[in-house]
């Protein structure tokens, strides 16, 4: 990459780190206040007990477990998608990967919080950790809840490292472009990185191996989350399809979350030159494919239950098709299938705005899907005298809202402290595209042209 292009790239992508507008502080204050309200509400729930929530016999899992499954699903946005795109060497992934990997880490952290929020005595959560107590009693490794602990711990560890490793060269870049305290902090984070061929090879080899390892881990995580349900003899839960059904749903909601995050970054950080309509179009196609896959799974699930016609399952099914949960069910179908299918299957509608609209619908629809998996089944178990209902109470709604604000807050703070687009990968991508296939480079520019020139001029991106 020539010097002018490198300087321009550095300036553009480091600008959010060095310039802070009043809008940033307003956003942090707004999101922070919602998060603090959520934390205060959680403390109040701990003090007063679970009677404050709508959770009651027979529905003991409701909003909190819905949120747990939803956020773990959202976490599939990043590391899994990034790993797949890395392995297939998709050039267009380069500006997208870090935006995606960050979602994974924060969504996993938030998702993993919900089983703790759901505990009556959350300060005893460490009982899940496999260590021998004073009576040499260990956790029961045959319990799906312990499987969750191992799966989430592995995925979180892998995802954090998968995010951190490619950040080292960018930390070194910030180190070299800064002075004073910032220089010292980023210098420590850069671990003395220089950029010798050996270091680059080792980093890329490590990323390849981790990409190979992280894909089955990501699939296992949501499969194991599905086991929390499918291992239980509850109507419509005890199903062999739950593993792949949950994984498909997770990737589906993950892609939608990624599109929303990218659109927000593009607008607020003025990254229009890096996050192109092409990126949204490609992700939109993936979203469309996952929407069709989701429809296929839900048809399979519903048809099997309807055809089997077992009494308890039939009641749970009809409560969602034409009973009290029907409005939520049909809203979910509209959000997860009708809206994305109509928007994303028409090329003219597959714009940034169209992708954002479809993604927003999918995020809403997937939250509803998680809710509809849990509550109708628990409301209609095998003995009809135990049937009941559930209505969320304010504490659950406030805590749920606070987690969305927490996601936004963590994302905003991260993009303030770390280049949200991997600068070195973008530079390397220019070489890859420009040298390997000049025609492709011309068609799909990874880098912006110099200011004042037309977007898409291939002559401005070739290797000097």
Partner 1 sequence: MTAIYALYGDADAALRAVDGLRAAGLHDGDITVVSAEPLEHHPLGERDRATWMFWIASGGGAIGLAVAVWLTRMTELAWPLPTGNMPIVSWWANLIIMFELTMLGAILATVITLIITAGLPARRSLYDPEIVNGRILVGVERPASQSVPQIERALLAGGGRVKTV
Give the binding site for partner 1 (CB under 8 A). 1-3, 5-7, 10, 130, 132, 136-142, 146-147, 150-151, 153-154, 157-158, 161, 165, 168-169, 172-173, 176-177, 191-206, 209-210, 213-214, 216-217, 220, 224, 227, 424, 427-428, 431-432, 435-436, 463-464
Least CB distance to partner 1 at residue 323 (A): 32
Q: How far apart are CA 186 and CA 246, in angstroms?
A: 39
**8 A C-beta contact, residue 241 and residue 113:** no
* CB-neighbour burial class of residue 127 (10 A; exposed 0-12, middle 13-18, buried 19+): exposed
Report the residue number, 94 or 350, with the smaller CB distance to partner 1: 94
* CB-neighbour burial class of residue 231 (10 A; exposed 0-12, middle 13-18, buried 19+): middle
Report the residue number, 168 or 263, with the smaller CB distance to partner 1: 168
**8 A C-beta contact, residue 390 and residue 62:** yes
Whole-angstrom CA distances from 235 to 124, 380, 381 are 31, 7, 6
Q: How far apart are CA 81 and CA 79, in angstroms?
A: 6
R_g (Cα) of the chain, nearest Å = 24
Report the residue number, 172 or 317, with the smaller CB distance to partner 1: 172
Report the residue number, 23 or 135, with the smaller CB distance to partner 1: 135
**8 A C-beta contact, residue 269 and residue 420:** yes
Q: State the DSSP code for 122.
A: G
Report the residue number, 215 or 289, with the smaller CB distance to partner 1: 215
**8 A C-beta contact, residue 266 and residue 315:** no
**How many Cβ atoms from other residues are within 10 Å of residue 298's Cβ?**
21
Least CB distance to partner 1 at residue 3 (A): 5
**8 A C-beta contact, residue 245 and residue 301:** yes
- The owner of tokens 């553009």 is 12
Least CB distance to partner 1 at residue 164 (A): 9
Q: How far apart are CA 156 and CA 104, in angstroms?
A: 8
Report the residue number, 54 or 144, with the smaller CB distance to partner 1: 144
Least CB distance to partner 1 at residue 150 (A): 4
Report the residue number, 139 or 392, with the smaller CB distance to partner 1: 139
**How many Cβ atoms from other residues are within 10 Å of residue 307's Cβ?**
7
Least CB distance to partner 1 at residue 91 (A): 13
Least CB distance to partner 1 at residue 199 (A): 5
With b for 16 or more beta-carbon neighbours within 10 A and e for fewer, the 4-32 pattern comes to ebeebbbebbbebbeeeeeebeeebeebb
Report the residue number, 214 or 256, with the smaller CB distance to partner 1: 214
Least CB distance to partner 1 at residue 58 (A): 21
Least CB distance to partner 1 at residue 86 (A): 13
> In the chain, what is the straight-line distance between the N-terminal and C-terminal CA atoms, in Å?
7
Least CB distance to partner 1 at residue 282 (A): 23
Report the residue number, 194 or 391, with the smaller CB distance to partner 1: 194
């Amino acid at each position: 990459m020539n010097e002018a292009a490198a300087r321009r790239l550095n300036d553009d992508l480091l600008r959010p780190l060095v310039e802070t507008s009043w809008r940033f502080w307003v956003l942090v204050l707004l999101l922070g206040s919602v998060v603090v309200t959520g934390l205060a509400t959680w403390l109040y729930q701990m003090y007063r007990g679970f009677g404050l929530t709508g959770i009651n016999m027979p529905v003991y899992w409701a909003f909190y477990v819905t949120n747990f499954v939803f956020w773990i699903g959202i976490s599939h946005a990043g590391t899994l998608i990034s790993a797949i795109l890395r392995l297939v060497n998709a050039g267009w992934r380069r500006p997208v990967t870090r935006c995606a990997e960050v979602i994974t880490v924060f969504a996993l952290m938030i998702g993993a919080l919900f089983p703790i929020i759901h505990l009556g005595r959350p300060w005893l959560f460490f009982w899940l950790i496999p260590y021998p107590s004073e009576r040499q009693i260990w956790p029961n490794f045959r319990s799906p809840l312990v499987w969750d602990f191992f799966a989430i711990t592995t995925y979180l560890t892998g995802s954090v490292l998968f995010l951190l490793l490619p950040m080292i060269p960018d930390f070194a870049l910030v180190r070299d472009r800064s002075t004073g305290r910032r220089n010292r902090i980023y210098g420590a984070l850069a671990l003395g990185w220089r950029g010798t061929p050996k270091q680059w090879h080792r980093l890329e080899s490590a990323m390849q191996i981790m990409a190979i390892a992280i894909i089955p881990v990501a699939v296992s995580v949501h499969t194991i989350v599905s086991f929390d349900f499918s291992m239980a003899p509850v109507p419509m839960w005890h199903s062999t399809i739950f593993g792949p059904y949950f994984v498909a749903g997770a990737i589906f909601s993950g892609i939608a979350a990624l599109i929303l995050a990218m659109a927000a970054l593009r607008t607020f950080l003025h990254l229009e030159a890096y996050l192109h309509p092409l990126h949204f179009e490609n992700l939109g196609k993936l979203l469309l494919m996952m929407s069709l896959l989701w429809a296929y799974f839900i048809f399979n699930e519903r048809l099997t239950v309807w055809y089997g016609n077992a009494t308890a399952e039939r009641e749970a099914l009809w409560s969602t098709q034409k009973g009290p949960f029907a409005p939520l069910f049909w809203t979910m179908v509209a959000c997860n299938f009708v809206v994305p299918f109509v928007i994303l299957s028409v090329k003219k509608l597959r714009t940034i705005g169209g992708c954002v609209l479809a993604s927003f619908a999918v995020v809403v629809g997937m939250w509803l899907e998680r809710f509809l998996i849990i509550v109708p089944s628990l409301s209609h178990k095998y003995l009809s005298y135990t049937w009941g209902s559930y209505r969320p109470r304010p504490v659950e709604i406030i805590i749920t809202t606070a987690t969305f604000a927490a996601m936004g807050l963590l994302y905003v703070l991260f993009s303030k402290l770390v280049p949200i687009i991997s600068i070195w990968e973008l530079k390397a991508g220019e070489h890859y595209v420009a040298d390997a296939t000049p025609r492709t480079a011309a068609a799909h520019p990874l880098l912006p042209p110099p200011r004042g020139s037309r977007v898409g001029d291939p002559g401005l991106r070739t290797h000097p």
